[in-house]
């Protein structure tokens, strides 16, 4: 295996690992906090409703937006690390 193909393989492995972690976070936040742990969060109020409901309805969207910006930032860093960035 050449150095270029092993570098490409390492790049895609890092990319897929990043995507898997971010998708797991995106799935866990609304499901875990919005459904599973909602009874524990019912005493905390945000916007006139309990925190668990708020996370399930609004918080998951905010988490998704944060993950999009983090993904873009991290991919730019990965692109530079593996020298595949655009100038």
Q: Indicate if the pLDDT at residue 2 is higher than 60.
A: no
Distance CA 49, CA 36 (A): 17
Distance CA 18, CA 75 (A): 9
Distance CA 17, CA 32 (A): 21
Q: Indicate if the pLDDT at residue 1 is higher than 70.
A: no
Q: What is the pTM of this model?
A: 0.79
* Mean pLDDT confidence for 51-79: 91
List, for residues 4-48, the tens digit of each pLDDT value. Answer: 678 889 999 999 999 999 999 998 888 887 788 888 888 888 888
- In this predicted structure, what is the pLDDT of residue 24? 94
């Amino acid at each position: 295996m050449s150095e270029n193909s092993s570098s490409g393989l390492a790049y895609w492995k890092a990319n897929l690992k990043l995507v898997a972690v971010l998708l797991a976070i995106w799935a866990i936040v609304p499901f875990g906090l919005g459904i599973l742990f909602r009874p524990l969060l019912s005493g905390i109020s945000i916007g006139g409703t309990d925190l668990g409901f708020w996370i399930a309805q609004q918080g998951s969207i905010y988490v998704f937006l944060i993950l999009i910006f983090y993904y873009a930032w991290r991919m730019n860093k990965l692109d530079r690390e593996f020298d595949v960035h655009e100038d």
